[in-house]
Structure 1
Amino acid sequence: MTPSNDQENPGNRWSDLDRPPLDEGALRRALVRDGGLYRSLEVVASTGSTNSDLAARADELPEGAVLVAEAQSAARGRLDRRWTAPARSGLFFSVLLKPEEVPVERWGWLPLLTGVAVATGLSRAAGVDTALKWPNDLLVTVDGQERKAGGILAERAGATGVVIGIGLNVTLRAAELPVPHAGSLALAGAVSTDRDPLLRAVLRSLERWYGDWRGAGGDPAACGLQETYAAGCATLGRAVRAELPGGRVVSGEAVAVDGDGRLVLATGAGVREPIAAGDVVHVRGTD
Structure 2
Amino acid sequence: MTPRDASDTNDNRWSDLDRPPLNGPVLRRALVRDGGLWRDVEVVERTGSTNSDLVGLVTKGDADEGAVLVAEEQNAGRGRLDRRWTAPPRSGLFFSVVLKPAGVPVERWGWLPLLTGVAVATALSSAAGVDTALKWPNDLLVTVGGEERKAGGILAERAGTDAVVVGIGVNVSLREDELPVPGAGSLVLAGATTTDRATVLRAVLRSLEQWYERWRAAGGDPAVSGLQETYAAGCATLGREVRAELPGGRTIVGEAVAVDGDGRLVIATKDGGREPVGAGDVIHLRAV
Cα offset for 1:25?
1.1
- Give the aligned residue type for 2:247: P
Q: Does 1:119 align with 2:121?
A: yes
- For 1:48 and 1:22, the matched residues in 2 are separated by 18
Q: Percent identity?
A: 77
1:232 is aligned, of 231, 234, 253, to 234
Cα offset for 1:180?
1.3
- In structure 2, stretches of 5+ residues that fail to align are 1-9
- For 1:98 and 1:237, the matched residues in 2 are separated by 34
Match of 1:203 in 2: 205
TM-score normalised by length of structure 2? 0.95
- For 2:78 and 2:99, the matched residues in 1 are separated by 19
1:281 is aligned, of 280, 283, 288, to 283
Q: Does 1:43 align with 2:38?
A: no
Cα offset for 1:100?
2.0
Cα offset for 1:23?
1.2
Match of 2:52 in 1: 52
Matches within 5 A, 1:73-84: 73-84=75-86
Match of 1:7 in 2: none
- In structure 1, stretches of 5+ residues that fail to align are 1-9
Match of 1:179 in 2: 181
What does the per-residue CA deviation read over 1:201-222, in whole Å, with 9 as the maximum and x for residues that have no partner? 0000000000000000000000
Secondary structure in 2 aligned to 1:284? strand
Cα offset for 1:58?
1.0
What does the per-residue CA deviation read over 1:170-196, in whole Å, with 9 as the maximum and x for residues that have no partner? 000000011110000000000000000
1:141 is aligned, of 121, 143, 150, to 143
- For 1:231 and 1:159, the matched residues in 2 are separated by 32
Secondary structure in 2 aligned to 1:219? coil
Cα offset for 1:159?
2.3
- For 1:210 and 1:248, the matched residues in 2 are separated by 34
Cα offset for 1:62?
1.6
Match of 1:17 in 2: 17
Note the aligned Cα RMSD (angstroms). 0.9
- Give the aligned residue type for 1:23: N
Which stretches of structure 1, 4 residues or more, deviate above 4 A after TM superposition?
none
- For 2:45 and 2:168, the matched residues in 1 are separated by 17
- For 1:110 and 1:204, the matched residues in 2 are separated by 15
Equivalent pairs counted in the alignment come to 276
Q: Does 1:31 align with 2:31?
A: yes
Match of 2:5 in 1: none
